[in-house]
Copies of this chain bind each other. A is one copy, B any other.
Amino acid sequence: MMKFCSLCANPVNYIIPAGDNRPRHICESCGTVHYQNPKIVAGCIPEWQNEILLCKRAIQPRLGYWTLPAGFMENGETTEEAAIRETLEETGAQANILQLYTLYSIPHISQVYMIYRAQLLDKNFSPTPESEQVELFSQQNIPWEQIAFPVIELTLKQYYQDQRNGSYQLKTGTIDKRNEK
């Protein structure tokens, strides 16, 4: 949402600029076109022996549900750095990247998820302001009925399927709910 120009404070219009093909927020006072673009959500599947680390969300949305550590990539960092930073912020754990594992577009919310397999450096992890509980789970103990987001449930299902097959391959795809809006 944008009502006023962030450079000159005059009201913006939401119209298709000349030579463009979709509406943008335009300031007719200073001429600025304010583009809006999808955000990257980067995160990890943090592995420790045969278990993975999940966090129980202490914040909305989906407070109280379990998820992988992941969050919005920041300016000035790489996708790998974002995944490692989010893991540290949400679980207190340090991890090393193993491989890019999933790349999912979620166009109805303009997000792109990138989840990496990562190796925990040790068993130091703890609740954080964003996670009321942080725990290692074996496959049998994953709280499948309490996973916070469809993209995380899909990622975990593919992960265990690949684990059974003995090799982890990059998964790309779309969670497409554009027609449900």
Cβ 8 A contact of A36, one of B40, B75, B100: B75
Decide yes or no whether A4 CB sits under 8 A from chain B.
Answer: yes
Indicate if the CB atoms of A172 and B100 lie closer than 8 Å.
yes
Cβ 8 A contact of A39, one of B37, B114, B170: B37
**Contacts A38-B40, A79-B112; is A7 near B9 (CB within 8 Å)?**
no
Decide yes or no whether A3 CB sits under 8 A from chain B.
Answer: yes
User: Which of A50-58, A61-69, A103-111, A149-157 makes up part of the contact surface?
Assistant: A103-111
Decide yes or no whether A73 CB sits under 8 A from chain B.
Answer: yes
Decide yes or no whether A34 CB sits under 8 A from chain B.
Answer: yes
Nearest opposing residue in chain B for A7, CB measure: B3
Chain B residue contacts of A73, Cβ below 8 A: 37-38, 112
**What's the least CB distance linking A36 to chain B, in Å?**
6
Indicate if the CB atoms of B37 and A74 lie closer than 8 Å.
yes
Cβ 8 A contact of A9, one of B3, B39, B76, B172: B3
Chain B residue contacts of A74, Cβ below 8 A: 22, 37-38
Indicate if the CB atoms of A76 and B110 lie closer than 8 Å.
yes
Nearest opposing residue in chain B for A73, CB measure: B38
Nearest opposing residue in chain B for A3, CB measure: B7
**What's the least CB distance linking A170 to chain B, in Å?**
6
Nearest opposing residue in chain B for A9, CB measure: B4
Indicate if the CB atoms of B129 and A105 lie closer than 8 Å.
no
Indicate if the CB atoms of A37 and B72 lie closer than 8 Å.
yes
**What's the least CB distance linking A25 to chain B, in Å?**
8
**Contacts A4-B9, A6-B4, A9-B3; is A108 near B76 (CB within 8 Å)?**
yes
